[in-house]
Amino acid sequence: MLLHITNVLSAESLAYFHERLTAAPWADGRTTAGYQSAQSKDNHQLPESDPLARELGALVLEALGRNPTFFAGALPRHIYPPLFNRYAGGQQFDFHIDNAIRYDRSREPALPIRTDLSATLFLSDPEDYDGGELVIEDSFGTHAVKLPAGDLVLYPGSSLHKVLPVTRGARVASFFWMQSLVRDEAQRRILFDLDVAIQTLTQQAASDRPTLLSLTGVYHNLLRQWSEA
């Protein structure tokens, strides 16, 4: 499932991110890539241990915690601390698949996180740069994704994906991975569709409350059966 989540960050938050990241200590992004990925990766990245990365990453996590669509789609058990990258001057990242396991070394001992899902949170307005589309290939087909600043795309960590060359301006984004409570992608999709239907009925103040309660019970019973928590 490829899920577009709008307005994860507000305009005020985006302005703060832009201000802080303009003078950020960007480093060669290949230093955090595996051997195979490093051969095709050309970008800049904010070092994970940098205090700015930790500050802004915490703000991203706070915003995600307030977003019901993100929770419904990801059902996150563990989220790898958000990272930040920058593409400019023709930089790109050719087709690759993310590592199956990432180690969150901000914890002691380091926590292994299975990368069920990948996410990119766009921080630059699409009008400010040319190129830079995130191209994702999976069972759902091939999609080129270039979202408004503050929007996020959530997609399976097993997907083949790349970032096209940025030929004008700069593309700045946050990216991260998560281990879901529900490992199976098809089961997560069923739960997402059911959760969205329940939320819609609730917002519409459905008069048939017994049916709404029944659907809610089905959702939680499925989650109880499928989750690894």
Spans of all domains in the chain: 3-180, 185-226
Equal fold, 3-180 vs 185-226: no
CATH placement of domain 185-226: 4.10.860
pLDDT band of residue 32 (cuts 50, 70, 90) is low
Three-state secondary structure along the chain?
A: CCEEECCCCCHHHHHHHHHHHHCCCCEEHHHHCCHHHHCCEECEECCCCCHHHHHHHHHHHHHHHCCHHHHHHHCEEEECCCEEEEEECCCEEEEECCCCEEEECCCCCCEEEECCEEEEEECCCHHHEEECCEEEEECCEEEEECCCCCCEEEEECCCEEEECCEEEEEEEEEEEEEEECCCCHHHHHHHHHHHHHHHHHHHCCCCCHHHHHHHHHHHHHHHHHHCCC
Is 98 labeled as ligand-binding? yes
State percent of the chain over pLDDT 90: 85
18 a known binding residue?
A: no
What would the pLDDT profile of 97-156 be if each residue is shown by its tens digit?
999 999 999 999 999 999 999 999 999 999 999 999 999 998 888 999 999 999 999 999
CATH class given for the domain over 3-180: mainly beta
Entry pTM: 0.94
